[in-house]
Structure formats: C-alpha cells, structure tokens
Amino acid sequence: MQLNKGKELHAYLLRTHYPLCIFLTNHLLKMYSKCGHVDYALKNLRFSESFKAFSRMRSVGESPTQFAFASIIRACVVLGSVEVGRQLHSFALKLGLACELFVGSNLVDMYLKCGFMVDACKVFEEIPSKDAASWTSMIDGYTKSGDLRQLYGFGIGSRNIVSYSSPINGYVKIDEIKKAFSVSVDLQRGVGVEPNQFTFSNLVKACTSQAALEQGIQLHAKVVKFNFDRDNFVPSVLVDMYGKCGLLNHSIQVFDEVATPTQVAWNSLLSAFAVHGLGNDVLKTFSRMVQARVKPNAITFISLLTGCSHSGLVEESLKYFYSMEKTYGIVPRAGHYSCIIGLLGGAKRLEKAEDFINSMRMQPNTFGWFLHHSW
C-alpha cells in the first residue's frame, strides 16, 4: 500500500471540497487501516458527518439501500463502534433490510468481531437464505471463542445436510483445507453432528484441489465406515481425486464398486484416464458409458478429446468432435475446439488446423494466435 499516495488523494478531496459520501469515506478508512494508520483516519476522516448524512437520508425521503448500510456497518467494524452499529441495526429493521443477505452478513460480522456472539447468532438466524460467506463468519467466530457447541445451542440451522455442509464448503472454496477439516471434526465432536455425503464430498474436493492424497485416503476410509462408498455421490469425487493424484488403479476400483454409475461418475473415470494420457482406455470407457445408456455431456467430451489429444489419436478425436452435435445435440465450446487445435498442432498437421479454425462458428482470433505462436 502506498500511504503517501493515499494521503495525497485524501488531501485533494478535502482541498477541492469534494463531498465525502459514505462509500468514499469507507474506502479511505480501509486504506488507512491496511496501512496501519487507523489513528490518522480517526483524526482526519469526518465519520460523524458521514453518520449524520446517513441519518438525514431518511428525512429527505431517500431510503438508504442495503449497500449503503453494509458500507457504513463495515466502518463500524474497523472503528469498533458497536453502539453505532446497533443503531444502524435498528434502522435497518425499521426499513425491512436487516434480513437482506448483504446487510445481515455484515451485521453478523460486526457483532462477531466486537465480541457480541449472541447478537450475531440472532441476526444470523433471521437471514432466510444463508450463503457460504455468512456461514464461514459464524464458524470462524465461534471457533475463535472456543465454543462451537453454542452453534447448536442457539438453534442455528437444524441438523440437516445443507446447514452443516455450508461452512465446510465455504472453506473448500477458498482452499482452506485445514480449516475445512478442523470445522468438520469440531462439528462432530462439539455439536454431535455426524458427517454426511455432502460433507465428505466437499472435503474430498478440497483434498483434490490441494493434492492432499494422505488426507484423501483417510477420508476414503471414513466414507466406507459411514457407508457412503456405494451411493454414487461420494465415489464420483473419490474417482476424480485418485485420478488427479496419480493413483489410477484406485480410481478404477472405486468406480467398479458403484452399482449404477451416474454421468458424473463416468465423467470422473474418463477424466482420470485422460489425465494419465491413456487415450485408448478413454475410448473404451466412453463406449461402455454409451452402452450403459448414460447420456454424455459437454464435460464428457472434454475428457474424451483430451485423452485422444494426449495419445495422438487424430482421426478418432475428429470423429467424436463432429459427433457431439450431430449425434448428441451438444454444441462444441471453446475447450473442445482447443483440444482439436492442440492435437492437430502437436501432430504437425498445421494446414488441417488452420482449415479447422477457419470453419469454426466462434471468433477464431485467439485460436489463430495460439496456432501461430505454438508450432
């Protein structure tokens, strides 16, 4: 962060009497905070005027939006001004905005960071559609307090699949695998919540994204223990994990134990073979999939074409590419075109690649550049 540049901009705003609205004030506060100069911000930013301006909006017939609320609530968090935050909360309740996800999530965050767990819990309960971010805030707050049991004691989220998978999924999305595992264990031990297929699926995905094979194998053992190894949902992500982590035989074994594999399971196995460059196995698996009357989708053909590309199967690749729309009604996308162009280029069939590019329905500029600079 360039503090001096920020100060120059702030000085310019003051010198030109530019109106410091709530949003601009909040951004300046954020800048000073990140630079470690909150004290300077408190002395030089006119927060009282911003709060007054916010309050006057109602008197002139202008109702603050949920985004205005969220912005000034975040300022309260940085300033540690929970009393002002409570006033904003009351105001939001009057306007019917407190239950809006954007406002509610920021109120939850404010109460948690200011140490008011009960208030955070009450606001959280009133949010009708909770997202991963709001769940992550709650779990993080209660983890820091050392009492995850209160999550269930306050009645947050009945013991159902979605509510307890959401925080874990939140950490998985931001690649915080250790926190995801920690939350899973804490929920099981502290709250008595047993893992479910969604929990296992999210954790296995985290292992895949981080190439954490050891943790993945441990999870597989638990999947078997809880009898989720034959329900299609979890095995599909296990097949994908083992394939991407280099244990192809494990992928095949997990897949073969599924009684009736779904499209997702078949796609995972195809991807596993493709990652290992086994084009012929990809083609055989695709034939088995079709014989099993499982309809392929766009993802299926990405794996199919990738496998052909890695094995140099030019004619087979072109055959399946043209069958996408003709036989299966699937319109090729950029990824499918890339597979074919990469295959033709790698096989030094540049004239064929150029003809293919010129026949494309989409803009060929990027692919033309790719062809020009790759071989």
Rounded Cα distance between 177 and 9, Å, is 40
As a whole number of angstroms, the distance between CA 131 and CA 105 comes to 9
Of 113, 129, 145, the residue that ends a domain is 129
Where is the domain boundary, 129, 152, 175?
A: 129
Q: Please indicate, yes or no, if residue 222 is contained in any of the structural domains.
A: no
* Cα–Cα dist 345/328, whole Å: 26
Please count the structural domains in the chain: 2
Residue 332 lies in a domain: yes
Q: Identify whether 102 is part of a domain.
A: yes
Of 87, 107, 129, the last residue of a domain is: 129
3-class secondary-structure state, position 154:
coil
Contact 281, 273 (CB under 8 A): yes
Q: Phi, psi at residue 100, to the nearest 5°?
A: -65, 140
Query: What are the φ/ψ torsions at residue 360 (nearest 5 degrees)?
Result: -70, 150
Asked if residue 40 belongs to a domain, the reply is yes
With both helix axes pointing from N to C terminus, report the angle between 350-358 and 334-346 in degrees, rounded to the nearest 10: 160
pLDDT at 291: 96
Residue 37 lies in a domain: yes
Q: Report in angstroms the alpha-carbon separations of 163 from 12, 130, 136, 147, 167.
A: 48, 9, 11, 18, 8
pLDDT for 255 equals 95
DSSP code for 296: P
Residue-level pLDDT, tens digit, the chain, 375 residues: 567 777 777 666 666 666 555 556 656 656 665 665 545 554 555 555 556 555 655 565 666 667 667 767 877 776 777 888 898 888 888 888 888 877 888 898 889 888 888 888 888 888 887 766 677 677 667 666 655 555 555 444 444 445 556 566 656 666 667 777 776 766 666 555 667 787 788 889 888 888 889 989 988 998 998 888 877 789 999 999 999 999 999 999 999 999 899 999 999 999 999 999 999 999 999 999 999 999 999 999 999 999 988 888 889 999 999 999 999 999 988 888 888 888 887 777 877 777 777 777 665 555 444 444 444
**Number of CB atoms found within 10 A of residue 51's CB:** 19
Closest CA to 304 of 328, 190, 170: 328
| Cα atoms in the Cβ-side hemisphere of radius 13 Å centred on 26 | 16
Contact predicate 265/254, CB 8 Å? no
Element (H, E) at 10: helix 3-15
Return the pLDDT at 311.
Answer: 87
| 168 in any annotated domain | no
Q: Which two tokens stand for residue 226?
A: 């809880």
Q: Say what the pLDDT of residue 358 is.
A: 74
Q: Does any domain span residue 224?
A: no
Residue 142 lies in a domain: no
Q: Which of 121, 165, 172 is nearest to 142 (CA)?
A: 121
Parent domain of 292: 260-375
CB 156 within 8 A of CB 196: no
Residues 6 or more apart whose Cβ sits within 8 Å of residue 225: none
